[in-house]
Amino acid sequence: MAQQQVDVVEAIREGSTALGIELGSTRIKACLIGPDHAVIATGSHAWENQFVDRVWTYPLESVWEGLQAAFADLVANVEREHGVRLTSVGALGVSAMMHGYLAFDAQDELLVPFRTWRNTTTEAAASELTEVLGFNFPLRWSASHLYQAILDQEAHVPDVAFFTTLAGYVHWRLTGRKVLGVGDASGMFPIDPATRDYDADMLGRFQGLVDARQPGLDVRAILPEVLVAGQDAGALTLEGAELLDPTGGLQAGAAVCPPEGDAGTGMIATNAVAPRTGNISAGTSIFAMVVLEKPLESVHEELDIVTTPAGDLVAMVHCNNGASELGTWAGVFTEFAAAMGVEGGSDAVFAALFGAALEGEADGGGLLAYNYLSGEPITGLAEGRPLFVRTPGSRLTLANFMRTQLYGAFGTLSLGMNVLHGEGVKLDSMFAHGGMFRTAGVAQRLLAAAIEAPVTVGDTASEGGAWGIAVLAEFVRTGATADLSAYLSDQVFAGAALDVAEPVAADVEGYRAWLAQYEAGLAIERAATEAIH
């Protein structure tokens, strides 16, 4: 991705670098990049959430232990790989899993344990907010958590002086600034795309709901200030530097970009911030982010509305079930190959199975596959039962079986994307990433048919969200003189090696026919959840 020759050692010594840190669900990653946006070194630390008193949480002590461990790992890697000690960076940024609830009192003391996005005890609040405000409030949103605490008359509520997300909390401790990037803020409360700030009308109506139950709690005053990418979000203080590096080796003073959520840094890492672009991430779950040209006409429970780090509206289609069932079937075939005395490993099995899928009939030959290991909100299922279904007249071949398994990984996503198509949303390109795209050209081509738009795959996402927030920090370091989309296209991704798959007409027609059967067959899935325990 580099656009010029960079002396890495000189960049480290001069501090013309940017540091990105992302706190994911299972790993905290640190990524140092140079002025060419290429990765200089990385560091990481594994951690896990805890289920305490029926709340999914991370102790704040674990946050700082993990950040310090990831930074120390980065420093050690810089010294080992480049022979120089990292004592300063030109800019840095913090990203983390979105949503959740971190509430503090006027003395900056945490009032209740951190409630992460995984907590789903907010159904009453989310339902009322969605109905009254006319905007889809998912269970995991911060406003849903706050209002549920009010509905439940929790003792801590009168003392709330500030609440934020995990990225907002870490940024505050590093800089002293209670701010949030607009993308992360959009997972706390709806954003007005015209103002790039909380929607004033909805905030006023929300305040009315709060006043009826908790008089004196000023919602606007306890929310973090909203900033867009490139704006001044403060500098690393001496206290903040010591929090990251207790050895005292890291100097204070680095510019810090607005803190962002993992959805926003994923958009940066895939160059998907311009209207009519988006990205699809396929892993244990599968989700699509589509940047909108204008607000949607209606409220759809299948769609979460958030924003890019620049404040443009994004529709998110999130499916609980992704590629896991596909991986399970691949494991069965790997066992079979071993039983036959054929060696080659899982990569060879995946290559053979995916290659067969391209030989399958465009409509799957009458086969259906449901990858529902867990419940799926988009299709209204509280639980899942993985199923493979066929009629006596269907054509069961390896090619049709594998094509259907790949279709099955995209089926629910297609239903959500069809809601967007019904709203007139147009797509110019989608960037896909995840393990199922490692076998070149197969899942990518079939996904293009499923969403009826070009799908791009490339090795540009580098270290993922940690790299994405480092790029946002570099955007600040260099003055943020360009539009964010232009900056990414012209300076970050220019010359990147990308592979684009256009939809094949026969695949599109076949997939449409398959999806109609898939949707009708959801009745079988529902019956299975009721009959099989």
Give the per-residue pLDDT at 498.
87
| Structure tokens that stand for 107 in this block | 């003395």
Nearest by Cα to 528 from 392, 414, 389: 389
The pLDDT of residue 3 is 43
Cα–Cα distances (Å) from 116 to 52, 98, 122, in that order, read: 12, 8, 12
Q: Are 174 and 255 in contact (CB under 8 A)?
A: no
Q: Residue 219: its pLDDT value, please?
A: 98
pLDDT of amino acid 438? 81
Q: What is the pLDDT of residue 25?
A: 87
Place of tokens 């999806």: 515
Supply the pLDDT for residue 1. 44
Rounded Cα distance between 498 and 500, Å, is: 6
Angle in degrees, 0-180, between the axes of helices 398-422 and 505-520, rounded to the nearest 10: 80
Alpha carbon distance 273, 240 (integer Å): 30
Instruction: Quote the CA–CA distance of 42 and 40 in Å, as a whole number.
Output: 7
120 close to 140: Cβ distance less than 8 angstroms: yes
Distance, in Å, from the CA atom of 493 to the CA atom of 38, rounded to the nearest integer, reads 11
DSSP per-residue letters across 222-268: HSPEEE-TTS---B--HHHHHHH-TTS-SPS--EEPPPEEHHHHHHH
Helix (H, G, I), strand (E, B) or coil at 29: strand
Region of residue 441 (left: phi > 0; alpha: psi -120 to 50; beta: else): left
Q: How many CB atoms lie within 10 A of CB 517?
A: 15
Alpha-carbon separation of residue 488 from 84, 430, 485 (angstroms): 29, 15, 5
Question: Is 327 in contact with 202 (CB distance < 8 Å)?
Answer: no
How far is the C-alpha of 524 from the C-alpha of 479, rounded, in Å? 56
The confidence score (pLDDT) of residue 5 equals: 65
For residue 319, which phi and psi values (nearest 5 degrees)? Answer: -115, 135
Taking only the tens place, the pLDDT of each residue in 132-167 is 999 999 889 999 999 999 999 999 999 999 999 999
pLDDT in tens, the chain (533 residues): 444 568 999 999 999 999 999 999 889 999 999 999 999 999 999 999 999 998 999 999 999 999 999 999 999 999 999 999 999 999 999 999 999 999 999 999 999 999 998 888 999 999 999 999 999 998 899 999 999 999 999 999 999 999 999 999 999 999 999 999 999 999 999 999 999 999 999 999 999 999 999 999 999 999 999 999 999 999 999 999 999 999 999 999 999 999 999 999 989 998 999 999 999 988 878 889 999 999 999 999 889 999 999 999 999 998 889 889 999 999 999 999 999 998 777 788 999 999 999 999 999 999 999 999 988 888 988 889 999 999 999 999 999 999 999 999 999 999 999 999 999 999 888 998 877 888 888 999 999 999 999 999 886 555 688 999 999 999 999 999 889 999 999 999 988 888 999 999 999 999 999 999 999 999 999 999 999 98
CA distance 40 to 169: 27
Would you state the pLDDT for residue 302?
A: 84
**Cα distances (angstroms) measured from residue 37 to each of 24, 154, 461, 492:** 21, 46, 11, 6
Pairing mode, strands 39-46 and 50-52 = unpaired
- Quote the CA–CA distance of 326 and 328 in Å, as a whole number: 5
pTM of structure: 0.87
How many CB atoms sit inside 10 A of residue 18's CB? 31
How many Å apart are CA 1 and CA 35, to the nearest integer?
11
